[in-house]
């Protein structure tokens, strides 16, 4: 029984350590942590949600072929980026 408890404890410690080291702390993760500490959990979660949505849209656009379309035609790429720029400016 003692060996079984030691085995379970070791497995859970290994899982926890693996998950802790597997979390990539990039710019969005660090900004989320900073906002959570300085402004509260709501602001930190909003930053994390924004990063997740940006990644999800990026994957969606890749899968539907938008980025290959933009890379083939530079004028379409310029129009697309200018429209997003205007959206971001007037949204804020």
Please give the pLDDT value at position 21.
76
Q: Is the pTM of this model over 0.85?
A: no
Q: What is the DSSP string of 9-76?
A: HHHHHHHHHHHHHHS---HHHHHHHHHHHHH-HHHHHHHHHHHHHHHHHHHHHHHHTHHHHHHH-HHH
pLDDT for residue 92 is more than 60: no
69-84 tens-digit pLDDT: 777 878 888 888 888 8
Distance of alpha carbon 50 from alpha carbon 46, whole angstroms:
6
Tell me the three state secondary structure of residue 6.
helix
């Amino acid at each position: 029984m003692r060996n079984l408890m030691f085995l379970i404890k070791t497995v859970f410690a290994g899982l926890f350590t693996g998950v802790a080291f597997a979390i990539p702390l990039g710019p969005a993760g660090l900004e989320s942590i900073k906002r959570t500490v300085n402004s509260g959990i709501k602001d930190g979660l909003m930053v994390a949600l924004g990063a997740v949505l940006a990644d999800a849209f990026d994957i969606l656009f890749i899968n539907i072929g938008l980025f290959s379309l933009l890379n083939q035609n530079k004028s379409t790429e310029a129009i697309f980026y200018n429209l997003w720029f205007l959206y971001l400016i007037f949204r804020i």
